[in-house]
Amino acid sequence: MNATALKRKHLILVGAAASASALVLTGCSAGSGGGSADGDITLTITDTLSETSAPIYQEVYDACAAEVGVEVEATHVAGSGLIATVLQQASSRTLPDVLMLDNPDVQQIAASGALSALSDYGIDGEGFPQGIIDAGSYEGDLYGIAPIVNSIGLFYNVDTLAEAGVEPPTTWAELQDAAAALTSGESYGLAFSAANSFEGTWQFLPFLWSNGATEDDLNSVEAAESLQFVTDLVQDGSASSSVVGWSQNDVNDQFIAGNAAMMINGPWNMPKLNATEGLNYDVVQIPVPESGDTSIAPLGGETFTVPQTGDDAKMAKAGEFVDCITQDEHQLTMATGRGAVPSSTTAAAEAATENELIAAFVDTVADARARTALLGEEWPEAATTIYTGVQLALTGRASADEAFEQAAG
């Protein structure tokens, strides 16, 4: 998931350790039937792929290497250590030719001068929702483009809701009533992550934004209302007080175990949910304050960028390569393999027709908001204030009216 953004001071301190832990896997497109005949250019790629997702991307890497006429070498670095590695590479002039960045990190790296504008390679994100463009932009220029994206929605156990005679909620009032009605014994009506981390902020944002609040004015009435609503779910017992320590993986495990009838989570969990025998689930957009309001959720997903390496020929090929991997057919390949939504509107519509469960996320992504769109490089500070305030309110250490102010202090 894609909800982390670390501060530069911390990143520099951990840079050496992160670089040392990188795992290198190489894919040679020429050896798989493609690539340049003379092997003049080999593009280096640094991404944050796991052992599970790397083969899915390698298929696309190889196809685009063949199309562009290059060979590729991919290095997979743990997401938590990537930015430290990138800052170290920038200072030593050893940046890769193609770099994957979580979208909240694009602005920080672009501001350092380490990236080239994608317009130099004819990439403008045409056909992509504005939120996706915003997520990859810095000071009006597009620096990163995401072939697939994600967000969060409300998953529910179809059988449990049917047995209780509860309809999937669409408004806050309906969610509150449904969560209370579905709470019984050791099973809660709703599970979500309110962890003391950027993950907790990520899961709170739909309540904040859909109520008209913004991260640059957390002392607003709308922000307090959003926090009070979430706090009430915990205080009335519809959600476990343990949410303050749960990651999104923990939330998914609670849902699978039958300890929650509903949960807030993302489409990346679908492969595990689908593999759970006897689990009948569905997903809808996260409920809004009032009927007719727009559900606004945060946009997740990794972007591909072209670093400033000083090698014009390789940068031009890298630009062609990034343009290739963001084409609709490759978006669909990656989205299917990772449980995500293709970025382009046309590819997303095709994905929704092929998988009804992804349809709610396609609608969500169309209105999703980039976390850095409003505050840019200052987003991590606001995100820290948000998750700290949520923790204060949910643990009873501050009222919803005072929690964000106390957190900022």
Which residues, in sequence order, are bridge partners of residue 148? 342
- Find out whether 187 and 260 touch, Cβ atoms under 8 Å: yes
Angle at which helices 79-92 and 8-20 cross, to 10°: 90
Q: What DSSP designation does 378 have?
A: G
Q: Specify whether the backbone of 185 is left (phi greater than 0), alpha (psi in -120 to 50) or beta.
A: left
Distance of CA 140 to the CA centre of its chain: 22
Smallest CA-to-CA distance from 44 within 84, 87, 74 is with 74
Write the DSSP symbol of residue 312.
H
> Identical fold at 8-150+301-367 and 153-297+375-408?
yes
Residue type, 256: I
DSSP secondary structure, 62-77, as one string: HHHHHHHT-EEEEEE-
Please tell me the CATH code under which domain 8-150+301-367 is placed.
3.40.190.10
Closest CA to 139 of 380, 322, 377: 377
Query: What does the domain layout of the chain look like in residue ranges?
Result: 8-150+301-367, 153-297+375-408
| C-alpha span between 380 and 25 (Å, rounded) | 31
Identify the pLDDT of residue 12.
31
Q: Give the per-residue pLDDT at 40.
A: 85
Q: Which two tokens stand for residue 241?
A: 């007080």
In three-state secondary structure terms, 32 is helix
Give pTM, 2 decimals. Answer: 0.86
The 8-class DSSP code of residue 400 comes to T
Q: How many other CB atoms are there within 10 angstroms of residue 100's CB atom?
A: 23
CA distance 98 to 279: 40
Q: Single out the residue of 295, 298, 288 nearest to residue 175, CA to CA.
A: 288
Let me know if 126 is exposed, middle or buried by CB neighbors in 10 A (0-12, 13-18, 19+). exposed
Specify whether the CB–CB gap between 195 and 244 falls below 8 A.
Answer: yes
Phi, psi of 188 (to 5 degrees): -95, 160
CA distance 266 to 264: 7
Tens place of pLDDT per residue across the chain (409 aa): 444 333 333 333 333 333 333 333 333 333 333 333 345 899 999 999 988 899 999 999 999 999 999 999 999 988 777 888 888 888 888 999 999 999 999 999 999 999 999 999 999 999 999 999 999 999 999 999 999 999 999 999 999 999 999 999 999 999 999 999 999 999 999 999 999 999 999 999 999 999 999 999 999 999 999 999 999 999 999 999 999 999 999 999 999 999 999 999 999 999 899 999 999 999 999 999 999 999 999 999 999 999 999 999 999 999 999 999 999 999 999 998 888 999 999 999 999 998 888 888 999 999 999 999 999 989 999 999 999 999 999 999 999 999 999 999 8
Is the distance from CB of 371 to CB of 298 less than 8 angstroms?
A: yes
**Rounded CA gap, 144 and 124, in Å?**
10
**What is the model's pLDDT at position 235?**
97
| Residue with token string 């945060």 | 298
Cα-based torsion angle of the residue sequence 83, 252, 379, 402 in order, rounded to the nearest 10 degrees? -140
Least Cα distance to 49 among 357, 364, 337 occurs for: 337
Q: What is the pLDDT of residue 352?
A: 92
In terms of CATH, what superfamily is 153-297+375-408? Periplasmic binding protein-like II (3.40.190.10)
Distance CA 399, CA 382 (A): 19
Query: Between the CA of residue 380 and those of 232, 234, 353, 383, what are the distances in Å?
Result: 27, 26, 36, 5
